[in-house]
Structure 1
Amino acid sequence: MFVPLKGAWALVFGVSSGIGRQTARALAEAGCNIVGVHFDLAEGRDRAERDAGELAAECGVEAHFFNRNIAAKEARAELVPVVRELTSGTGLRIVLHSVAYGTLTSLLPGEGDDGSPGVTPRQLTMTVEVMGHSLVYWIQDLVRAELLPRGAKVFAMTSAGGSRVLSGYAPVSAAKSALEAHVRHLAVELAPRGVAVNAIRAGTTVTPALRKIPGSERLIARCREINPGGRLTRPEDVADAIVTLSATDSPWLTGNVIGVDGGEALVV
């Protein structure tokens, strides 16, 4: 059964840019109140504050954005009670984990003076912790606080790079692989509660995170050429899918990696 999202609450990680930013707007346009978490320096922080004000003014919803490190337990200790207060204890309809913060490098040292030194233990641990394991820690705390009611939806953004080899993407690939494993296990463990958990695998989408990947321009050009839809994936495409999937009480679509890519993965 489809239900309106007006008055519901969403928790969006990575709300200040790319897919997280666009999904927050799409959910707000559907009437959903937004709690956003991001981790930015001055320029990104100011932009996020403006976004929150615009969502509230234009969509008539509540929008509360916090500049915090989502991987820090202190952030969870601070913000979970805030979520409880804002939602009056009724909990969250949607949780979106759209986090792009990690090290882009190869696993092994490169050749020559300009080669990569190879990933360090600290870099690898940080990348997997932030982009993968943080989902588990937040869901643990939200469950303990009884903020994931029956019908809630959890989405985690993954990528084709979780199962393919892209130059300089190795630590992030490991994080995405861990994230997909967590999605499967969380889906099974949350099934008795009626909470659905899915990973969203967006097609090649031009975001600030993509631009940082070595060789991204070549990847963009190739995927634009081969995508059956004749263009790249846009943040709006992903946002529309998440809004649609959130507008049902059914928990039966769970534990999947859902491609939102116009068929790109079929022809790569």
Structure 2
Amino acid sequence: MHNRLHDRWCLVLGASSGIGRATALALARQGAHVVGLHFDRGDALDAARGLECELRALGVRAHLHNANAAADRTRARLVPEIVRLTGGRELRTVLHSLAFGSLRPFLPADGGTGALTRAQLEMTLDVMAHSLVYWTQDLMAAGLLGRGSRVLAMTSAGTHQVLPSYGAVSAAKAALESHVRQLACELAPHGVSVNALRAGVTVTPSLLRIPGHEEFTGPGANGNPHGRLTTPEDVADAVTLLANAPSSWLTGNTIGVDGAELLAAGTGWNPNGGTR
């Protein structure tokens, strides 16, 4: 397959760990230059700096910025910088992989405190869903998206599952998928495709922050027909595959990258053959 990533620029929002990190590395191995955003402190910031060095060691240009990707001022500052770096060339791929939200129940447990607040709900929706629209608007206005560009956003099976303390994130992912459909139709005349990728259960720093995550990482592995959990590298492979696709006709979809995990969920599927 023709490599449409070589010497092209890509933007990864949420680049420092998990799926974003794996994708940045996969794109660089294809010869793509990477602009990444992350929001880290302490050891995580050191890891992000290490990633930038890893990317450059692959022979590509890499610029990682520690900033809040959901803030208007970040876009106002960085979009012109991306124009400068790319020489005004359109981005081949944009990955929206922002996983910062509030993990609280809607109602207080047993009449106590700790219920989700308005500010937390609105922040979660803004970061994990609405920021996709704002970045797309600004990138289009700057001439950084055009025929052949690919916009990809990370969603999850949580859009139709109820998990403890996951309500705000579930709502954000549902909104994100709606935004993907709308953007896909509006950007189709420009030859820009927009899709959501629904990863299977993937052990990432964001997943480890979910209360009770231990309860479903095991069953997720046992219920996957492949007999294991999804890895960030599995998702990164899907991103590079879609980024290399010659046509924008695959657009407006939520694409499962889960090894058929969702299909097998609740069926008693036994990866070693048959059902349990």
When the two structures are superposed, what TM-score results if normalisation uses the length of structure 2? Answer: 0.94
The corresponding residue for 2:31 is 31
- The answer to whether the Cα contact below 8 Å between 2:3 and 2:30 also exists between their aligned partners in 1 is no
The corresponding residue for 1:222 is 219
1:9-158 matches, within 5 Å, as 9-57=9-57, 59-111=58-110, 113=112, 117-158=114-155
Q: State the distance in 1 between where 2:50 and 2:204 align.
A: 19
Q: State the distance in 2 between where 1:260 and 1:222 align.
A: 17
- The answer to whether the Cα contact below 8 Å between 2:12 and 2:24 also exists between their aligned partners in 1 is yes
1:237-256 matches, within 5 Å, as 237-256=234-253
- In the TM superposition, what is the alpha-carbon distance from 1:117 to its structure 2 partner? 2.5
Q: State the distance in 1 between where 2:85 and 2:11 align.
A: 11
Which deviates the most, 143-152 or 36-45? 36-45
Matched position secondary structure for 1:111: helix
1:184-223 matches, within 5 Å, as 184-223=181-220
- The answer to whether the Cα contact below 8 Å between 2:152 and 2:195 also exists between their aligned partners in 1 is yes
Question: Gapped runs of 5+ residues in structure 2?
Answer: 266-276
Q: State the distance in 1 between where 2:28 and 2:154 align.
A: 19
Q: Tell me the amino acid that sits aligned with residue 20 of structure 1.
A: G
Q: State the distance in 1 between where 2:187 and 2:147 align.
A: 10
Q: State the distance in 2 between where 1:153 and 1:54 align.
A: 24
Q: State the distance in 1 between where 2:51 and 2:133 align.
A: 27
- In the TM superposition, what is the alpha-carbon distance from 1:248 to its structure 2 partner? 2.0
- The answer to whether the Cα contact below 8 Å between 1:3 and 1:249 also exists between their aligned partners in 2 is no
Q: Tell me the amino acid that sits aligned with residue 110 of structure 1.
A: A
Which deviates the most, 19-28 or 116-125? 116-125
Question: Gapped runs of 5+ residues in structure 1?
Answer: none
- In the TM superposition, what is the alpha-carbon distance from 1:249 to its structure 2 partner? 2.7
Matched position secondary structure for 2:152: strand
Which deviates the most, 83-92 or 1-10? 1-10
- In the TM superposition, what is the alpha-carbon distance from 1:42 to its structure 2 partner? 2.5
Q: State the distance in 2 between where 1:48 and 1:117 align.
A: 32
Q: State the distance in 2 between where 1:4 and 1:246 align.
A: 7
CA RMSD of aligned residues (A): 1.1
Deviations 1:166-187 (A, max 9, x none): 1110010011011000000000
- The answer to whether the Cα contact below 8 Å between 1:158 and 1:201 also exists between their aligned partners in 2 is yes
Q: Tell me the amino acid that sits aligned with residue 195 of structure 1.
A: V
Matched position secondary structure for 1:53: helix
- The answer to whether the Cα contact below 8 Å between 2:100 and 2:128 also exists between their aligned partners in 1 is yes
Deviations 1:226-255 (A, max 9, x none): 110110000110000110111023100000
- The answer to whether the Cα contact below 8 Å between 1:3 and 1:248 also exists between their aligned partners in 2 is no
- The answer to whether the Cα contact below 8 Å between 2:13 and 2:97 also exists between their aligned partners in 1 is yes
Q: How many residues align?
A: 265
Q: Tell me the amino acid that sits aligned with residue 26 of structure 2.
A: A
Matched position secondary structure for 1:149: coil
Deviations 1:8-65 (A, max 9, x none): 11100110010000000000001000000011112222211111111101x1000100
